[in-house]
Amino acid sequence: MAVSMERFVLPGESLDAEYLPSHPTLPLKLGPGLRHIPPNTITPTVAGQLCSDKRKNAVWVEFNGGRYIPTVGDLVIATINRPSPEFYYASLSDYAPQATLPNLSFEGASRKTRPQLQPGALVYARVSLANKHMDPELECVSSSTGKSDGLGPLNGGMLFTISLGMARRLMLPRPAEQGRVVVLDEFGAAGVSFEIAVGRNGKLWVDSTSLKTTLAIGKAIQETDLKGLNPEEQKKLARKSMKDF
Amino acid sequence: MTISAEPSATLSHLYRADGSATFSQNGYTVIGAVNGPIEVQRRDELPEEAAVDVIVRPAAGVGGTRERHLESILQSTIRQIILIHNFPRTLIQITLQITSTPENDSASSKLVQASSNLPILPTLLQTTVLTLLSASIPLAMTLASISFAINSTGSSRKIIRNPTLEEFQAANSVHVLAFTSNGQLLVAESEGSFTLEVWDEVYEIGKDFCCDVTEPAGDDIMQQDGLDGNTGGMAFVRSTLEHKVSADLHWKD
C-alpha cells in the first residue's frame, strides 16, 4: 500500500504542503481527524499519526478513539432497543443518541414479511446517514443491489467490547499482516470453528459451537487489545486458552 | 514530603471512561475523565453546539463555591478549544477529581480552606487538555497553562514560575495564564496587587514558556531532552501524547 510520511500531529497544528499528497487529477480526500478551514487551511483535530496514500490522494490521522462517532458507510453492530411502527431504535454506543433502523431495510423485507427483532437483539448494519443535526440511520441491505451482503440480524453468539483501534485493525483487508492480529488465525489453524463480526463502533460478536470456545476467542481478542500483545504473545495466548477446550 | 515541580502524567488508564488522564504538578494530583459526545438532558440541550459540563471534586469533602468557581473558569476555557459546533445537542462531560494537594506546614488547615482558588488551576487545566486528547475528542487547538508568584521588595522584583503553596501565600500577587497552541491568551486570572508593567512581564514570560516552539517530530533526541529539562507546557503535552500514540499504534510499521 502506498502509505507514506508518518508524522505525529496535535490538534491545531499547521500542516505544511509537503505532508499532503498531490495528484494531477484526483481531488484531495480528507479522512478522519482532519478539518478544512476555508479557503486553504487543513489542520488536525486529534492527536495521532498523519498518514497519506499517494495513489488515492487521501490523507488522514490514525488514532485510537474513545467514543464511536457515526460516519456514513461504516459497518457497525447495533443493539435493538425498542420497535416502533416504522423503525427500530438501536444503540451504537452507550449513552449516545439512538440510531434508527427502518423496518423495511432488510433483504427481501416487505410490509408482510419483515424480521421481528426483540429488544436486545443484535444486527450487523451499515450507517446510511450520519449528520450532526440528525440521529444516525442504519440499513441492513444495499440500496443499489437489494442484497444484504452479509448484513442482518446476528443470532446466538456473544458480544464483546473492544477499543476502536482494535476494531479497525480487525477490519483491515489482511488483519494478520497489516494489523498484526494473529490470534484468530491461530485458533483457525488449530481447527476451532467460529464465526465473528466486527463493528466499527468497538463491538465484536463471536459465535461458535460451544460457549467455552466463544468466550475463549472473545477474551483472547480483548486481552490482545488491552495489553497490546505482539504476534508471538498472541500465539502463546491462543495456545494457552485452547488447552482448556 | 518532597514536592516535585516537574509535571508527570498517565493517559487512558480508566477502563470505562472514553478518555482519562492523571496529571501531577507542584504537589497537586488530579484524575480526569471525559465522556462524550453523549445524550444530553433536555433542559441543558443547545441547538447549535455541544454542552460542556465540568465537575470538579475536591480531595476531601463535597464541592462548594470554590469548586463552582473553578468549574466556571474551566468550562468557559474548554468551550473555546473543543469543536463544539460539530456535535450539536450532545453533552461532553468532564469530571476532575483532586486526589492530593500539597501539605501546608506553615498554615493551619483552616487557612487553606479560605485561601485562594488559583494554585490548583494550572493543574486542572492541564489535566483537562490531556483528558480530551486521550478521548480523541475533536479539538480546534490545545492549550498550556502556567502560574506565577511575584514578590516585590522595594524596587526589586522576583518572579517565581510554578510556585509552591508557601511561595503562593507569601507573594504580593499571583497570576495564572493559559495560552493556546497558536499563542493566544485564553485564561488570565490574577490576585493581589500589581502594576500593569508586572502583568506585561508575566505575560511575556508565560507566553515564551507555554508556547515554546518544539522541534518538528522526528527529532527524537530533542523530545527526550525536553522530558526532564525545564520543559515548556506545550512540549510536555506533545511528548506525553507522542508516547500514547506510538503505544496505541504499535501494530503499525
ipTM, two decimals: 0.92
What distances in angstroms separate CA A221 from CA A39, A176, A190, one per listed residue?
44, 13, 16
Percent composition of chain B: helix, strand, coil (DSSP 3-state, to 5) = 35, 30, 35
pLDDT in tens, A105-155: 999 888 888 889 999 999 999 999 999 999 999 999 998 888 888 999 999
Average pLDDT of the segment spanning A172-182: 91
Residue A11 to residue B138, Cβ atoms within 8 A? yes
Instruction: Compute the average pLDDT of residues B19-48.
Output: 94
Residue B234's domain spans which residues?
A: 8-252
Residue A231: cis peptide before it, omega within 30 degrees of 0:
no
Q: How far is B139 from chain A (nearest CA, A)?
A: 5
**Which residue has 516535585 as its cell numbers?**
B4
In chain B, which ranges are continuous DSSP H helix?
Answer: 65-81, 109-114, 121-134, 165-170, 196-210, 220-228, 233-248
Mean pLDDT, chain A, as a whole number? 91
Q: Does residue B3 sit within a domain? A: no
pLDDT in tens, B112-164: 444 678 889 999 999 999 999 999 999 999 999 999 999 988 778 889 988 88
Write down the pLDDT at residue B115.
Answer: 64
Distance CA A217, CA B43 (A): 44
Measured distance CA(B77)–CA(B86) in Å, rounded: 17
> For chain A, where do the domains classified as CATH 2.40.50.140 start and end?
75-155
Three cell numbers at A14? 499547521
Cα(B1)–Cα(A225) distance, integer angstroms: 38
Q: How far apart are CA A218 and CA A199, in angstroms?
A: 14
Nearest C-alpha of chain A: how many angstroms from B242?
7
Asked if the Cβ–Cβ distance from B35 to A95 is below 8 Å, we say: yes
**Alpha-carbon distance B131 to B127, whole Å?**
6
Looking at residues A199-210, what average pLDDT do you find? 95
The number of folded domains in chain B is 1
Q: Give the residue from A95, A174, A225 with the most B CB atoms within 10 Å of its CB, the best one to mutate.
A: A95
Contact A45 B182 (CB under 8 A): no
| CB nearest to B247's CB, from A48, A69, A228 | A228
Are B190 and B150 contacting, i.e. CB atoms less than 8 angstroms apart?
A: no
What's the CA gap between A58 and B45, in Å, rounded? 36
* Domain A160-242 top-level CATH class: alpha beta
> B181, A11: Cβ pair inside 8 Å?
yes
B226 close to A (CB below 8 A): no
Residue B46 lies in a domain: yes
- Domain with residue B99: its CATH number is 3.30.230.70
* CATH of span A3-62: 2.40.50.100
- Three-class SS state of B48: coil
For CATH 2.40.50.100, list the domain ranges present in chain A.
3-62
Cα B87 → chain centroid: 24
Of A191, A70, A169, the closest CA to residue A125 belongs to: A70
CA separation for the pair A71, B39 (Å, rounded)? 17
What is the fold of A75-155?
Answer: OB fold (Dihydrolipoamide Acetyltransferase, E2P) (2.40.50)
Domain with CATH 3.30.1370.10 in chain A: 160-242
Residue B94 binned pLDDT confidence (cut-offs 50, 70, 90) = very high
Q: CA of A12: which chain B residue's CA is closest?
A: B141
A49: left (phi over 0), alpha (psi -120 to 50) or beta: beta
* Banded model confidence at residue B231, pLDDT cuts 50, 70, 90: low
Number of Cβ pairs closer than 8 Å across A and B? 106
The answer to whether residue B154 is domain-embedded is yes
Q: What is the mean pLDDT of chain B?
A: 85
By Cβ distance, the residue of A10, A65, A179 closest to B241 is A10
